[in-house]
Amino acid sequence: MFISGSAYLYTATKRRTYFKEVTILIPLSWSDSPSYTAPGNVTFEGADIIVGAYNPRFTPGGPDTATPYTRQFAGCGEQSLYIHLTSSFLLNADRFSPIVGDYGRVLVHEWGHYRWGLFNEYPDHITDQDRAKDFYYSERKRRYEPVTCTSDWLYMPLKYTGRPDAPYRRCLGDQTNGYENGCFMIPRHNQPRYITGSVMHSYLNFDQIVNFCDNNLHDRGTLHNSEAPTKQNERCDGRSCWEVMREHPDFNGYTNNPPREVHDVIPTFFVVRSKGTRVVLVLDTSGSMRTGNKHLKLADAARSYILTIAAPGTFIGIVDYDSQATIVSYLQEMTSDTDRRTLADLVPVDAYGGSCIGCGLEEALNILMADGDPEGSKILLITDGGDGEHQRTMSMLDEYIGNNVTIDAVAITNAASQNLVNLTTMTGGRLYLQTSDRLNVNSRGGSDFETRVVIRSFAVLFGVGDRTAQGTIVIDETVGRLTTFDLTYFHSNPSGEVAPHIAVRSPSGRIYHEGNAYYEEDLAFKKATVRIPGIAEPGTWGYYIQNTATTVAHDVIVSVASYPSQEGVDPIIVSSFLCGSLMGAVNNKPLAVYADVRRRFNPIAGATVIATVETPSGVPVELQLFDNGYGADLTKDDGIYSRYFSQVYDDGVYEFNIRVV
C-alpha cells in the first residue's frame, strides 16, 4: 500500500512529494524482537494512520465492509485527526481491491483529506446522508449533470430495483427534465483518455486518474467542476483541490517545493515497539508560586498525576527547582497504590527563591540518562512560567530536541510565556493553561482501559456564612473502577486548618463519609478524598459538602473521576481541540471549538455538549456545540461537536472547558 501509494503520490503532486519514511508502531503487548527499535516520540495518539476496530458510523454494513476513512473535523486546508484502517481491510485485499481499486491510490485519496484538508468530490451517501446529491442542474450547460469532477466523465444513470434477476435498470428521466428519485451515476468503462482527474473523486480503479483537480483552463482533463454540489466546493468556496494544496506549507505556492526527479520513491520502513512510559515531573517551587496559592495548586496537580492519572506501569521521577534544581526522586515504577502514595508524599509544598527552568530540565534529563537512553521519554513541567535564566533554558531545549524527549507544560498562570510555547511546540509536546482552579492534567498513551475519565469537575462557591452544598452526579456502567470524589480547597481558615468535609451517597444508599475507611484528609495539600471500593454502582450518586470556614468566602473544587469498569468495556471519552487562533479571531478569521465524544471508535450522537470559555475579563462565555453538519461542524452524527467562537475582545488567555451531558 505505501510502496504503490508513494509512487502514485509522486505523480499526483507533479513530482513534488512521496512517502520517504514509514514508521510502524506495534503495541507493548506484542512479543519483542531484536529487529524492533525504540519508538522515540512515536505514539498511537500522534499517529497519522491508525489500525483499529471499525467505526459503525462510517461502516453501516458491519466490520467486514470497513473501507478506510479520515477522521476529519476542521475546515478547508486544515489537517485532520488521523486516517483509520481496519485489520479486515488490510488482510483482505482480494475482496476489497475490486471495489476500491489499488490500495496505494486509496491511501493517497485519504492523505488528501488528512494532510491537506481536502473533501470528497462525489456524492457520499454514508458520510453526508442528508445532503449528498447524485445530480444537479448546471447553469453553465443548461441541463442536469451528475456530480463528478471533472465534469467530462461519461456515465450511465441507473436505479437499484432489488430484483435478483435484474438488480439495476436505467433511470427514468433525462438531462433536460432531470431524473427520478434514487437515480445514481455509474461511470462508463471507456472514458476519454484526456481525463486524468480527480484523485478526490471516487473512481480510483480507473488507471487514467493520476491528478488532483485544478483550475487550469488549458487542461480539460483536470479542470475542476466548481458547480457541482460537492463537499469540496461547499467547504472550500468552489476552489479545486490543487488550488487548496498550493497554499499549504508543503507547497507554499511552489516557492519551496519545485518538481524534481527522484528515481527511487520506495519508502524506508521502520518497525518500533511501544515501551513503558517514563515521565519526570519538573516542579516550580520558586517564590512567585506563593502568589494566589499557586504552589498548592501545583502540588495538588502533581499528586493527582501520581496517584490517579498516570497509567499502571509508568515510571515517574521528580525534580523541583527555584534558582537551582534538586532531584527529589529517580524513576520509580507505579505498580501498586503503595508505590503511588510513597512517591506522592515526596511532592514538595514549599516555594521560595528565584526561578531557573533550565536547571530543572537539566536535572530531569540526568534522571532519564541514568536509566539509559532518554529517547521517547516525557517531561511534565508545572510552573507559572517565570524564568530568571532564559538562555540556560534555551540551551536545554536543544538537548531535549537532540534526545527526542517531549516536554508537556502546565502553566498555572494567566499568561503563557513564549518560553513555554517554545519548549512544548519544538519538542512535540502540549501546553496546558490552568487559569482557573480546575486541575486538568491528563495522561497520554496507554489503552482506554488505562484511561482516567473525569466524569465531572466543577467549583462550589461558599459565601460568608454558607455551611453546606449538595448535588448529584451520574456514573454510567462503562466506568466505576478506582472511582474518586476529590475535594480541593485553597483558603486559609482563620479558626484553624480544618478541611471541608464531603459525604457521598451511592444509588443504593450506602454512605461514605469522614471517619470511614475510604475517606482521606490531607491538610498539607488541602484536600479530602473519598475512594469508592471495587466497582462504583451505576446510577445517580449524591454528594454533601460541609463548609468548615464560614467566616470567609471561598471556592472548593470537586472532581469526580473513574476508570473503565472492566477490560473490554469502552468508556465514553471526550477529547477537545481548537482550530485557528485567537489572533486570527481578532482579524475576523473564525476560531472553531471541537469536542470528540466517543466510545472507542463509536461516535456518541445526540449528546448536549457545552463549552465554557474563561475570558481575560473574568466573565465566562458558554457555547453549545453541535453535531449537525452545519457551520463549523463538517459531518452530522460523527461524534464531533463544533462551534465557531468569535467573542475575542480582550488581550490575554482564553481557557476552554468542555462539559458533556
Which pLDDT belongs to residue 492?
A: 61
Q: Is the pLDDT of residue 496 over 70?
A: no
Do 156 and 231 lie in one domain? The reply is yes
Do 292 and 417 lie in one domain? The reply is yes
Express each pLDDT in 510-521 by its tens digit. Answer: 999 988 889 988
The CATH number of the domain holding residue 525 is: 2.60.120.380
Do 562 and 582 lie in one domain? The reply is no
Do 313 and 372 lie in one domain? The reply is yes
Rounded CA gap, 586 and 237, in Å?
22
| Domain assignment of residue 438, yes or no | yes
Do 281 and 429 lie in one domain? The reply is yes
Which cell is 397 given? 531545549
Of 387, 408, 443, the residue at which a domain comes to its end is 443
Q: What is the mean pLDDT of residues 253-259?
A: 80
Which cell is 504 given? 457521598
Mean pLDDT in the chain?
88
Do 476 and 565 lie in one domain? The reply is yes
Residue 71 phi/psi, 5° resolution? Answer: -80, 90
Residue carrying the nine cell digits 483509520: 84
Q: Cite the DSSP H helix spans in 413-502.
A: 418-425
Which pLDDT belongs to residue 523?
A: 79
Which pLDDT belongs to residue 310?
A: 85
Do 35 and 131 lie in one domain? The reply is no
Q: What is the DSSP string of 431-454?
A: EEE--SS-------SS-GGG--EE
Domain count, the chain: 5
Q: What is the mean pLDDT of residues 112-140?
A: 93
Give the count of beta carbons closer than 10 Å to the beta carbon of residue 533. 10
C-alpha distances out from residue 182 to 157, 179, 202, 657, Å: 10, 9, 19, 44
Confidence of residue 308 (pLDDT cuts 50, 70, 90): confident
Taking phi first (over 0 means left), then psi (-120 to 50 degrees means alpha), and beta for anything else, what does residue 142 get? left
Confidence of residue 597 (pLDDT cuts 50, 70, 90): very high
Rounded CA gap, 52 and 66, in Å?
11
Q: Cite the DSSP H helix spans in 92-198.
A: 93-100, 103-116
Do 410 and 524 lie in one domain? The reply is no
Rounded CA gap, 625 and 557, in Å?
25
Q: To 5 degrees, how large is the angle CA 459–CA 460–CA 465?
A: 150
The CATH number of the domain holding residue 616 is: 2.60.40
Strands (E), 463-524: 468-475, 479-489, 501-505, 511-512, 519-522
Of 570, 593, 619, the residue at which a domain comes to its end is 570
**Is the preceding omega at residue 29 within 30 degrees of 0, hence cis?**
no
Express each pLDDT in 416-473 by its tens digit. Answer: 567 888 899 899 888 877 655 444 555 444 444 457 788 888 888 888 888 899 999 9
Of 570, 594, 614, the residue at which a domain comes to its end is 570
Do 139 and 212 lie in one domain? The reply is yes
Which cell is 338 given? 503503595
The CATH number of the domain holding residue 382 is: 3.40.50.410
Rounded CA gap, 212 and 214, in Å?
6
Confidence of residue 587 (pLDDT cuts 50, 70, 90): low
Which pLDDT belongs to residue 444?
A: 46
Q: Report CA dihedral (29, 35, 41, 43) to the nearest 10 degrees.
A: -30
Express each pLDDT in 146-180 by its tens digit. Answer: 999 999 999 999 999 989 999 999 999 999 999 99
Q: What is the mean pLDDT of residues 609-634?
A: 90
Do 81 and 154 lie in one domain? The reply is no
Which pLDDT belongs to residue 595?
A: 95
Rounded CA gap, 340 and 358, in Å?
27
Strands (E), 102-202: 135-138, 143-146, 155-160, 168-170, 173-174, 178-179, 184-187
Which pLDDT belongs to residue 446?
A: 44
Which cell is 575 given? 477529547
Which cell is 505 given? 451517597
Q: What is the DSSP string of 510-536?
A: -EE-TTSTTEEEETTTTEEEEE--SBP
C-alpha distances out from residue 160 to 128, 177, 179, Å: 20, 20, 14
Q: Is the pLDDT of residue 60 over 90?
A: no
| Domain assignment of residue 255, yes or no | no
C-alpha distances out from residue 615 to 1, 435, 648, Å: 47, 9, 8
Cβ-proximal residues to 447 (8 Å cutoff; 6+ apart), any chain: none
Do 551 and 618 lie in one domain? The reply is no
Q: What percent of the chain has pLDDT over 90?
A: 55
Q: What is the mean pLDDT of residues 494-504?
A: 74
- Nearest to 595, CA basis, from 616, 611, 619: 611
Which pLDDT belongs to residue 447?
A: 47
Express each pLDDT in 286-301 by its tens digit. Answer: 999 988 888 888 888 8
| Domain assignment of residue 249, yes or no | no
| Domain assignment of residue 254, yes or no | no
Which pLDDT belongs to residue 450?
A: 57
Q: Is 625 in contact with 638 (CB distance < 8 Å)?
A: no
Q: Is 15 in contact with 50 (CB distance < 8 Å)?
A: no
The answer to which of 72-76, 307-311, 330-334, 499-503 has the lowest mean pLDDT is: 307-311
Q: Is the pLDDT of residue 205 over 90?
A: no
Q: Is 611 in contact with 625 (CB distance < 8 Å)?
A: yes
Rounded CA gap, 56 and 361, in Å?
45
| Domain assignment of residue 529, yes or no | yes
| Domain assignment of residue 304, yes or no | yes
Rounded CA gap, 128 and 637, in Å?
10
Q: Residue 177, CB half-sphere, CA atoms under 13 Å: how many? A: 6
94 DSSP β-pair partners: none
Q: Is 612 in contact with 620 (CB distance < 8 Å)?
A: yes
Q: Is the pLDDT of residue 107 over 90?
A: yes
Q: What is the mean pLDDT of residues 261-266?
A: 96
Q: What is the mean pLDDT of residues 53-62?
A: 88
Q: Is the pLDDT of residue 194 over 50?
A: yes
As to burial, measured by CB atoms within 10 angstroms (0-12 exposed, 13-18 middle, 19+ buried), residue 152 is: middle
Which pLDDT belongs to residue 445?
A: 43
Residue carrying the nine cell digits 472548593: 556
The answer to which of 46-50, 156-160, 550-554 has the lowest mean pLDDT is: 550-554
Do 285 and 434 lie in one domain? The reply is yes
Which pLDDT belongs to residue 373?
A: 86
Domain residues for the domain of 90 are 2-118+261-273
| Domain assignment of residue 201, yes or no | yes
| Domain assignment of residue 68, yes or no | yes
